[in-house]
Amino acid sequence: MSIQDRLLEVGTNAADWPGLANREQLIQRERYVARGVSSTVPIFATRGRGAHLEDVDGNVYLDFAAGIGTLAVGHCHPKVVTAVKAQVDNFLHTCFSVAMYPPYIDLARRLTNLVPGSAPKKALFLNSGAEAVENAVKIARAATGRSAVLAFQNSFHGRTLLTMSLTGKVHPYRDGFGPFAPEVFLAPYPYPYRYPGSTEACVDDALARLNHVFRTQVDPRQVAAMIVEPVQGEGGFIVPPPRFLLELRKLCNEHQILFVADEIQTGYGRTGKMFAIEHHGIEPDLLLVGKSIAAGLPLSGVIGRADVMDAPRPGSVGGTYSGNPVACAAALAVLDVFEEEQLLERARAIAQLARPRLEKMQKRFSCIGEVRGLGPMLAIELVKDPTTREPAPEWTTQVLRACHQHGLIILKSGLYDNVVRLHMPFVCTDEDVNQGLNILEHALETIEHTDH
Ligand SMILES: Cc1ncc(COP(=O)(O)O)c(C=O)c1O
């Protein structure tokens, strides 16, 4: 059977999973790779196509993790592969700070046109999401002459010192890594499912506590930027009530704080629109992209108001590999694929198929406390008891393992590690979506049938 045919099937030898070749690699990994870099699934990939991934034992999986929401166009989209190969044949690297190349400019032009906002915009490319966040802070400080940065609890912005300081979750991101960067302040982010009152009260409370931060910890006139995920990703797909984001934009206007939308996870259709802030008509001063933009090649970007972006002096931002030409070529192909294959419409269709199925599962399984999300950025929060809402992190691990064993790669997230999240590639067929959700439903059955 050809690999193409094989990849159309999903399946593992569950009884023997993950198999001998994976086990052999695991032994080597344990011996030679630092344990701090953890891996969700104990498998080693050999080949990926579209929504499918094959491992060294020949197990084939539906990949609903998609490189943590990086493969909107799926594994090895032919257009991306062709563009990458063409660029590889020309040249691999010059460093944009030495000799420039057209793909960087083309990408900057296309992204500045895509990001919402009427003011003229400019772009800067980096390697990782964390680097985009770091650079946004540098740009905001240079533009405002202010030093403080405001971010939110339960957020995730990266693993470098500054981005870890901006991240609002202790385990595993911050624990043992202090002292943290100064001039960083974290305010509450509304989490309606875990708030004892109404959604409106939840927003009022979060805003009151943010104003309290301004009164007790930092003068808003010292704050350069407010960095916000429009939907918290690693935090468990928390969708804030729209009024919260609109009020943040107003506060930023009032105090001349730059509004920085971290769309590294939400970007490129993950919420059903190209960028999540488009749901609210918000114009950010800076918007951060990463993950999906280059279909797996390391690339991120800061896009924003030209007057703000031009604040740092020449030579003060960038890096050896930042905006690498191969990654830019992949990113241009990704934008073409989004247009040609109408992936935004497909993203919304996937959401329409998946959400009702998850809601049906919630009726069946009492361990699903909440189904939430925006567009196809969907998740279920698992609880031991729907009344007390006590988080069920162990059951979540159990569900994940059952999914992995039966051919679905899927991730968890959340403050309590009890949220199962879906990151389907938008090239998934309806059949893929249903098949993945069947595996998830089957995995949830194992929880319900266990005596707790
Ligand atoms: C919202 C958000 N910001 C920043 C990052 C950091 O990106 P990277 O891992 O590429 O540094 C992530 C990664 O998950 C993210 O979800």
CATH of the domain at 72: 3.90.1150.10
Q: Does ligand 1 come within 6 angstroms of the Cβ of 267? A: no
Ligand 1 pocket: which of 167, 264, 270, 287 to mutate (most atoms within 8 A of CB): 264
Ligand 1 pocket: which of 127, 268, 291, 377 to mutate (most atoms within 8 A of CB): 291
pLDDT surpassing 70 at residue 235: yes
Residue 170 Cα to ligand 1 midpoint, Å, equals 16
| Secondary structure class of 369 (helix, strand, coil) | strand
Query: Per-residue confidence at 447, pLDDT binned at 50, 70, 90?
Result: confident
What are the phi and psi torsion angles at 35 (to 5°)? -75, -20
CB burial string 229-241: b at 16+ within 10 A, e below: bbbbbbbbbbbbe
CB 296 within 8 A of CB 49: no
**90/238 same-domain check:** yes
CA–CA separation, 284 and 230 (whole Å): 11
Query: Per-residue confidence at 11, pLDDT binned at 50, 70, 90?
Result: confident
Which has the closest alpha carbon to 227: 299, 142, 141, 145?
A: 141
Residue 334 Cα to ligand 1 midpoint, Å, equals 19
The pLDDT of 160-168, averaged and rounded, is 98
Query: Per-residue confidence at 2, pLDDT binned at 50, 70, 90?
Result: low
CA–CA separation, 301 and 92 (whole Å): 19
In tens, the pLDDT along 343-387 reads: 999 999 999 999 999 999 999 999 999 999 999 999 999 999 999
**40/97 same-domain check:** no
**323/404 same-domain check:** no
**265/231 same-domain check:** yes
Residue 128 Cα to ligand 1 midpoint, Å, equals 8
What are the phi and psi torsion angles at 383 (to 5°)? -130, 155
**444/365 same-domain check:** yes
When mean pLDDT is compared across 6-15, 184-193, 281-290, the lowest value belongs to 6-15
pLDDT surpassing 80 at residue 449: no
Q: Does ligand 1 come within 6 angstroms of the Cβ of 414? A: no
Residue 67 structural domain: 3-76+342-448
**347/305 same-domain check:** no
Q: Six-digit token pair at 96? A: 């944009």
CA–CA separation, 303 and 275 (whole Å): 12
**147/276 same-domain check:** yes
Query: Per-residue confidence at 319, pLDDT binned at 50, 70, 90?
Result: very high
What pTM was estimated for this model as a whole? 0.97
The pLDDT of 11-15, averaged and rounded, is 88
Residue 290 Cα to ligand 1 midpoint, Å, equals 7
The pLDDT of 138-143, averaged and rounded, is 98
Cα–Cα distance list, 175 to 154, 167, 171 (Å) = 14, 11, 6
**229/239 same-domain check:** yes
CA angle 209, 212, 213 (to 5 degrees): 95
pLDDT surpassing 70 at residue 440: yes
**241/144 same-domain check:** yes
pLDDT surpassing 80 at residue 450: no
Q: Does ligand 1 come within 6 angstroms of the Cβ of 298? A: no
Choosing from 318, 340, 362, the residue where a domain stops is: 340
Q: Six-digit token pair at 37? A: 């870099």
CA–CA separation, 314 and 332 (whole Å): 26
Residue whose CA is closest, atom 3 of ligand 1?
A: 157
Strands 148-152 and 223-228: parallel
Mean pLDDT score of the chain: 96
**289/407 same-domain check:** no
The single-letter DSSP state of residue 108 is H
Counting the structural domains of the chain, the total is 2
Q: Quote the pLDDT of residue 288.
A: 99
Residue 129 Cα to ligand 1 midpoint, Å, equals 5
Q: Does ligand 1 come within 6 angstroms of the Cβ of 290? A: yes
Query: Within 13 Å, how many C-alpha atoms sit on residue 168's CB side?
Result: 22
**304/364 same-domain check:** no
CA–CA separation, 42 and 27 (whole Å): 11
Strands 368-374 and 377-382: antiparallel
pLDDT surpassing 70 at residue 1: no
Q: Does ligand 1 come within 6 angstroms of the Cβ of 229? A: yes
pLDDT surpassing 70 at residue 7: no
Choosing from 340, 355, 383, the residue where a domain stops is: 340
The pLDDT of 16-32, averaged and rounded, is 97
The pLDDT of 111-131, averaged and rounded, is 97
Choosing from 340, 361, 390, the residue where a domain stops is: 340
Total residue length of the chain: 452
Domain CATH number, residue 258: 3.40.640.10
In tens, the pLDDT along 214-232 reads: 999 999 999 999 999 999 9
Ligand 1 pocket: which of 68, 156, 286 to mutate (most atoms within 8 A of CB): 156
**60/115 same-domain check:** no
